[in-house]
Amino acid sequence: MNMPIQSFTLSDIQALRVAELFGALGDPSRVKIIAALLQGPMNVQALAEAAGISESAASHQLRSLRQMRLVAPRKEGRLVYYSLDDQHVVELFQRALDHILHN
């Protein structure tokens, strides 16, 4: 499928932000966390289990994902539940998955 090529120039800051976004997706644990969140909001313990990492490591990865605005926290009592920040994150993840499964 040939898609029309759009020609435009990125500013330095736009190029940096895109590179940072792809960098945030450059860690398998973060990718597993995002995949788990496709099912809906989860707390750190559930995300750690889903990613096969410690809760401390999951918290560290979630901090990076929050900074990139890929996940959003919601406090419920003493627990914090995380969800994907918006539909763009879902679409980006799905596109990446479609791309690797294509061949």
Structure tokens at 11: 């500013």
Domain ranges, ordered by start, for the chain: 13-101
pTM: 0.86
The reported pLDDT for the residue numbered 44 is 97
Judged by DSSP in three states, 43 sits in strand
Helices and strands of the chain, counted as H and E runs: 5, 3
The pLDDT of residue 8 is 78
Q: What is the pLDDT of residues 42-90, one digit of tens each?
A: 999 999 999 999 999 999 999 999 999 999 999 999 999 999 999 999 9
Question: Which residue matches tokens 């406090």?
Answer: 75
In the CATH hierarchy, which top-level class contains the domain 13-101?
Answer: mainly alpha
